[in-house]
Structure 1
C-alpha cells in the first residue's frame, strides 16, 4: 500500500509506511534542534560497519590520517579526500569508521556553522534585506532546502533576530542522500561529478532481515511531513500527530522509486524513531530510520530535487 498522502509540512496526512515499533518519547518540535546548531544532528559513531576488504587505494590509512590532519588548515581539501576514500569502497571497517568521523568533524565547523569558507560548493553568503524572512530568502534565492536549515546553520534562535544588512550563510543545494546499509549510515552529498563531496554522515537503522530495498529513489511529491499521523499497516493501530509513542517520530519523507527496479517499492520512507536503540540495527519494517536530531537535519536538506540511493 502507499506510504503517504499529500500534505507537506502538515500533520493531517497519514503515512502508512512499513515501519518499526517503538516505545520511548521523541523530540517534539523542530525548534529544539536549532539550539546548538553547530553540532546538532551530528553523530559520529556508526553502527556495525561493513566488513570490507583491506584498502586497495595504496596506504589508505595514511591518507585518512593526512586528511584528518588537514581539517583545520584546509577543510575543503580534507573533505574532498575523505569523500574519495569513502566512495572508493576500498576501506576496511576500521578505516571507514575513521573516515566518517573525519567527515563529521569537518561538518561541525564547515557545514553546520555560520562560517563561510572560500571554495565551499555547499554554501554561499547572503545579506539580509528589509522585510526578509527565512522562507522568503529560501524562495528568492531558489534554495533547494527547507528554510529551517538557514536558521540552524546561522544559529539564530528566532526569526525576529533578522536585521537588514545582516550577513547570513546559505546552503543552496540540492543535496542528495545515500544509505549504506552495511555501514548503517545515511550520507548527505553536495555537488555532482568530480565536485561531489560528502557534507555529513548520520547513523541510521534499516529493515529487519535486510528488507530495506536497494536502488535509486526520489522524494515523493508532497510527502514531507512534520509531526505526522501514522497507522501501523500490520496491526491497524493508529497514532495521532504529536503522540509521544508514535513510532515514526517527528518527521516523515516518503520515497518513490525512479527506475523499473525500484518503482515497485511503495510505502517506504525516511523517518524518525522513538526507539533510539534501533539505530545501527535492522529493526524497521523496511524504512530508513534516523535519530530525532538527525532526522530533523535530513528533513531540512533532502527535498523533491534530491536523489536518494540505497546500497
Structure 2
C-alpha cells in the first residue's frame, strides 16, 4: 500500500518557523535594492547632467566666439606716411617756380655785368637746386652750372672767394699723387688742369691749382642720368646706360672701391666664363673700370658692379647692361680722373 505524505505534516511547526524567517528577510532585501537603485540613479543623473552642461557650455562658447567673430568689425590698417626723396620730388615737379625763374635771371645779369663774379653766380644757382621747380627750370640751371664749371673747375684759373679750388705751393719731396691724396682727388685731374706733362718732374716752390674734394655722383634710373658734384656743388650731367630688366642696377649708396680703378682690365663673361682682353673686338668695357662697393639700401653687400666705358655708345640712355653703369668713353675717362677710391660716393636713385 502506497504511502503519501500528509499535507498537514508540511505545516509542521519547525518548517513554519523557517518560512517566517524568510518572510522577514525579503523586505530587507527589497529596501536594500531600492536604496542601491536610488543612489546609483542619482549618480547617473548627475553625471549625464554634468556632461550635458559641459556640452552646452562648449556649444555656447563656440556660438559666442562665432558670434563675436561675425559681429566685431575688422579694423582697417592705418595708412603709413609716404617717404619721398627730395631728389625724386625735384625731378618730377612739373610746375614752374617764380623764385627759380628770378634766380636764373639774376645770375644771367650778374655774369653779363660782372664776368669775374663766377663763384657768386655758381653758389646762387647751386643753392636754388634745393627748391622745388619744373624740370625745364632745373635743366636750365644745371646747364648753366655746367658752363660755369668749365671756367672755375676745368681750367688753370683760380677765382677769388672760391672755397673749392685754391693755389698750392709744391714742397720739396712732394709727389703729385700725394698732393691729390691730401685733397681727396686723384692725381690725374691735377695733372690735367695744370697741364703737367711729366708729374715726376714736379718742381719745389712751383705753384699749382688744387681741387678740394671729394667728387660724388648721383644716378637717376628713371632718366638715365648721372649728376656729378664736387662736395655738394653741382658740376655736370652725363647720360648713362643701366641694367636691363631682371638685372637692374641696384638702388642705394655705393663707394668707389679702394684699388678698384683700372685701365682696360681683362674681363670674364660671368655667363659663359669666356675671358676678353682689351684688344678683342668683342671686349665690352671701354677704356676704364671703376669698381663699386655697396654700403646702403639694395646695394649693400653687392659686388661685381662698376662704372665703365662701352664700345656700343648707341646703348647709352638705355637699360641694356648686366647691372653696371655705362658711360661714353670720353666721359668715363673724365670720371676716372675725378672719383677718389674710398671717398667718392655713388648714389643710385629711381
Instruction: State the TM bucket, normalised to the shorter chain.
Output: 0.7 to 0.9
Q: Is 1:222 the counterpart of 2:265 in the alignment?
A: no
- 2:97–2:134 CA contact under 8 A, matched in 1: no
Partner residue, 2:118: 75
Q: How do 1:174-253 residues align onto structure 2 when only pairs under 5 Å count?
A: 174-191=214-231, 196-209=232-245, 211-243=248-280, 245-253=282-290
Structure 1 residue 173: deviation in Å? 0.9
How much is the aligned-residue C-alpha RMSD, in angstroms?
A: 2.6
- 1:121–1:190 CA contact under 8 A, matched in 2: no
Q: 1:105-134: per-residue Cα shift (whole Å, max 9, x none)?
A: 011111101111122232221123455442
Q: How do 1:274-293 residues align onto structure 2 when only pairs under 5 Å count?
A: 274-293=311-330
Structure 1 residue 265: deviation in Å? 3.0
- 1:68–1:102 CA contact under 8 A, matched in 2: no
- 2:253–2:300 CA contact under 8 A, matched in 1: no
Structure 1 residue 93: deviation in Å? 3.1
Q: Is 1:255 the counterpart of 2:292 in the alignment?
A: yes
Matched residue count: 255
Q: Which of structures 1 and 2 has the bigger CA Rg? A: 2
Q: 1:135-186: per-residue Cα shift (whole Å, max 9, x none)?
A: 24335xx121211111111123333664443321011312222112233322
Structure 1 residue 253: deviation in Å? 1.4
* Cα distance, 1:120–1:282 mapped onto 2, change above 3 Å: farther
- 1:227–1:242 CA contact under 8 A, matched in 2: no
More helix by share: 2
Structure 1: distance between partners of 2:171 and 2:91: 51
Structure 2 segments unaligned to the other structure (5+ residues): 1-89
Partner residue, 2:127: 84
Structure 2: distance between partners of 1:287 and 1:145: 23
**SS in structure 2 of the partner of residue 234 of structure 1:** coil
- 1:204–1:288 CA contact under 8 A, matched in 2: yes
Larger RCO of the pair (alpha carbons < 8 Å, separation 6+): 1
Structure 1: distance between partners of 2:319 and 2:130: 23
Structure 1: distance between partners of 2:133 and 2:157: 31
Structure 1 residue 281: deviation in Å? 2.5
TM-score by length of 2: 0.65
**SS in structure 1 of the partner of residue 121 of structure 2:** helix
**SS in structure 2 of the partner of residue 224 of structure 1:** strand
Alignment partner of 1:148 out of 184, 188, 193: 188
Structure 2: distance between partners of 1:160 and 1:221: 23
Q: How do 1:1-311 residues align onto structure 2 when only pairs under 5 Å count?
A: 52-55=92-95, 57-71=97-111, 72-88=115-131, 90-130=132-172, 132-139=174-181, 142-159=182-199, 162-191=202-231, 196-209=232-245, 211-243=248-280, 245-259=282-296, 261-303=298-340, 304-311=342-349
Structure 1 segments unaligned to the other structure (5+ residues): 1-49
Structure 2: distance between partners of 1:68 and 1:185: 25
